[in-house]
Structures are given as C-alpha cells and as structure tokens.
Amino acid sequence: MENTVPEDARASVDTSLVDGTDAVLMEHVSGTVCATEKSFEGPFALHLTDEHGRISRHHLYESSLSIADACAP
C-alpha cells in the first residue's frame, strides 16, 4: 500500500462464498503506482480457512500482469 496513491486505491467485494470453515471472496481492485503514475485494475480472489476463530490459511489469486505493467517504467 505504501507504493500506491492512497486516494486512488479501491477494492470491492463482488461475491462471497462460505462452505464450513472455508470462505472465498471474489473482489475487484484498482489503484495507481506512485513511482510510475500508472494505474492497474482487475479481479482477484481470496481463499480463507478459519480454524478455531483464527485464519489458518490465506491464499490470494490476482491479476499480477496488470500490476507488473503498472510498476514497469
């Protein structure tokens, strides 16, 4: 977050699915990289597992290409 323009950062949850101790959030993220002033946007998914009230697993799936492109000079 420290490398993105704070007022351009956006994230929204589109869908959430829960099955027992597993949850999947399908989201959309966008922002601007400070160093290049280039923007990025795209979908991402977050898979969480809850064990005894604590997150025991956290997997993030994102559009790394759009973020890499925004970071490139």
Taking Cα atoms as reference points, which of 42, 28, 33 lies closest to residue 3?
Answer: 33
Residues near 23 by Cβ (< 8 Å), separated by ≥ 6? 16, 17, 47, 48, 49, 50
Q: Answer yes or no: is pLDDT of 48 > 90.
A: yes
Answer with the residue of higher pLDDT: 1 or 63: 63
- Quickly state the pLDDT bin for 16 (edges 50, 70, 90): very high
Residue reference for tokens 């990289």: 33
| Residue 73 in tokens | 């000079």
Cα 17 from Cα 52, distance rounded (Å): 19
Hey, what domains does the chain have and what are their CATH numbers?
A: 6-71 (3.10.450.50)
